[in-house]
């Protein structure tokens, strides 16, 4: 059987997903391919999805700007994706399209794989999310589902943080401004940077400074271009343990691959290779 996989979005120029899934296919010993399908904004979206079905694709990822657009074209949607209002993975099986969202759970898997000790006594851990956009939404919900309880949110716009808080009744959440987060940084066991601040080409920016952080806490940044953001560089100098953004990319892909092929693949070896690719690119 040919495992035909793909990615839809626009634009798709720089995506690392074809490389990651190519490596997963090799590791799993499966015949197949992972191709990019750019759908320009003025294209007939329904027709583009039908073309994927006609090509006997068994699954595809969805990236910007189509994570919400795809929803009316699905036959089923899993609970997590429904809650997010966004789909990043579709499986086509027995003629049916089912939508999933692996972004948040991929993040949690990447964090707990890097720091297994952090995943013990989850109810005691105090977490702070910086940002309240689409990425923060998925990560907040997945953290709450994974059993973390104290998850505060700091964002420039408090209203967006408020809408994230309403996603889960399992978590206890205070909402802070970014200056408040900076002052109270010492209260947290992990600070998770999800804003676009610090992303190329604004590599000198950081949403907060970390002079008040607790030694040994985890500083996590979902930005992977550059791999070492200013947020992570400052955290490292001040004694934090680091968690890098490329691991989220890798583990959300691993979860998607499992959904499509029902096959488990390791990601440890790829993590180092992906790091090297990104270091070379920046």
Q: Is 195 in the site for ligand ATR (CB under 6 A)?
A: yes
Q: Is 131 in the site for ligand ATR (CB under 6 A)?
A: yes
Helix axis angle, 158-165 relative to 134-146, nearest 10°?
Answer: 30
Q: Is 199 in the site for ligand ATR (CB under 6 A)?
A: no
Considering the complex, state which of residue 206 and residue 261 has its C-beta at the smaller distance from ligand ATR. Answer: 206
Side-chain half-sphere of 185: how many Cα atoms within 13 Å? 25
Q: Is 160 in the site for ligand ATR (CB under 6 A)?
A: yes
Question: Is 61 within 8 Å of 86 (Cβ atoms)?
Answer: no
Q: Is 86 in the site for ligand ATR (CB under 6 A)?
A: no
Can 67 be counted among the known catalytic residues? yes
Instruction: Tell me the closest approach of the beta carbon of residue 5 to ligand ATR, in angstroms.
Output: 23
Dist CA 117 CA 189 (whole Å): 12
Residue with tokens 């634009």: 11
Considering the complex, state which of residue 133 and residue 147 has its C-beta at the smaller distance from ligand ATR. Answer: 133
Chain residue at closest Cβ approach to ligand ATR? 133
Which tokens belong to 262?
A: 């029902």
Q: Which of 4, 67, 80, 125 is catalytic?
A: 67
Q: Which listed residue (134, 203, 234, 277) binds ligand ATR by CB under 6 A? A: 134
Q: Which residue, among 12, 27, 9, has the nearest Cα to 261 in the 3D structure?
A: 27
Q: Is 157 in the site for ligand ATR (CB under 6 A)?
A: yes
Q: Is 164 in the site for ligand ATR (CB under 6 A)?
A: no
E-strand ranges in 78-185 read 89-93, 96-100, 126-130, 150-154, 175-176
By rule CB under 6 A, what count of residues binds ligand ATR? Answer: 15
Dist CA 221 CA 233 (whole Å): 11
Considering the complex, state which of residue 99 and residue 131 has its C-beta at the smaller distance from ligand ATR. Answer: 131
**Footprint of ligand ATR on this chain (CB under 6 A)?**
131-136, 155-157, 160, 194-197, 207
């Amino acid at each position: 059987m040919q495992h035909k996989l793909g990615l839809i979005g626009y634009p798709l120029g720089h995506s690392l997903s074809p490389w990651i899934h190519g490596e997963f296919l090799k590791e799993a010993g499966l015949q197949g391919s992972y191709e990019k399908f750019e759908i320009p904004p003025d294209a007939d979206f329904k027709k583009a999805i039908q073309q994927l079905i006609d090509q006997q694709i068994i699954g595809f990822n969805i990236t910007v700007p189509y994570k919400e657009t795809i929803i009316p074209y699905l036959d089923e949607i899993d609970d997590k994706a429904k809650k997010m209002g966004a789909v990043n993975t579709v499986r086509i099986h027995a003629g049916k399209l089912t939508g999933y969202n692996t972004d948040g759970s991929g993040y949690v898997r990447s964090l707990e794989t890097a720091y297994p000790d952090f995943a013990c006594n989850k109810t005691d851990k105090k977490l702070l999310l910086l940002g309240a956009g689409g990425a923060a939404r998925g990560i907040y919900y997945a953290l709450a589902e994974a059993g973390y309880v104290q998850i505060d949110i700091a964002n420039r716009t408090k209203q967006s943080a408020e809408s994230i808080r309403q996603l889960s009744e399992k978590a206890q959440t205070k909402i802070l401004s970014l200056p408040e987060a900076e002052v109270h940084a010492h209260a947290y066991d992990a600070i998770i940077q999800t804003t676009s601040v610090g992303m190329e080409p604004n590599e000198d920016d950081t949403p907060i400074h970390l002079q008040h952080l607790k030694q040994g806490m985890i500083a996590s940044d979902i930005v992977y271009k550059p791999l070492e953001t200013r947020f992570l560089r400052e955290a490292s100098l001040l004694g934090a343990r680091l968690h890098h953004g490329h691991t989220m990319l890798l583990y959300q892909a691993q979860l998607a691959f499992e959904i499509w092929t029902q096959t488990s693949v390791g990601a440890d070896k790829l993590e180092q290779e992906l790091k090297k690719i990104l270091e070379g690119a920046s």
